[in-house]
Amino acid sequence: MSPDLPVLLDLARSVTERAEQQLRDLTPDLITAKGDRDMVTNVDLAIERQARTALLDGAPGIGFVGEEEGGDTGADTRWIIDPVDGTANFIRGLPLCGISLALVHHGVPVLGVIHLPLIGRRYWAAQGLGAFRDGQRISAAGTSTLPEAMIAVGDYGTGPDGPERNRVALAIQARLAEKAQRVRMLGSAAVDLAFVADGTLDATITLGNHDWDMAAGVVLAREAGAVVMDTDGSPHTPDSRTTIATTPGLRDAVLDILRVTTTGTAWSATSGSRAC
105-124: pLDDT as tens digits: 999 999 999 999 999 999 99
Give every CB contact of residue 21 below 8 A, 6+ residues apart in sequence: none
pLDDT tens figures, 231-267: 999 999 989 999 999 999 999 999 999 999 998 888 8
CA–CA gap between residue 108 and residue 101 (Å, rounded): 14
Residue 269 banded pLDDT, cuts 50, 70, 90: confident
CA–CA gap between residue 198 and residue 138 (Å, rounded): 5
Is the pTM for the entire model greater than 0.75?
yes
Average pLDDT over residues 222-238: 96
Average pLDDT over residues 38-67: 94
Instruction: For the chain, give the mean pLDDT.
Output: 92
Average pLDDT over residues 183-199: 97
Burial (0-12, 13-18, 19+ Cβ within 10 Å), 181: middle
Give every CB contact of residue 220 below 8 A, 6+ residues apart in sequence: 112, 114, 123, 124, 125, 131, 193, 194, 197
Residue 20 banded pLDDT, cuts 50, 70, 90: very high
What is the per-residue pLDDT for 107?
A: 92
Asked if 121 and 113 count as a contact pair (C-beta separation under 8 A), the reply is no
Asked if 144 and 250 count as a contact pair (C-beta separation under 8 A), the reply is yes
Average pLDDT over residues 32-38: 69
Buried b / exposed e over 17-36, threshold 16 CB at 10 Å, is eebbebbeeeebeeeeeeee
- CA-to-CA dists, residue 27 to 18, 31, 96, 134, angstroms: 16, 10, 16, 26
Asked if 49 and 71 count as a contact pair (C-beta separation under 8 A), the reply is no
What is the per-residue pLDDT for 270?
A: 63
Give every CB contact of residue 269 below 8 A, 6+ residues apart in sequence: 230, 231, 232, 233, 258, 259, 262
Is the pLDDT score of 194 beyond 80? yes
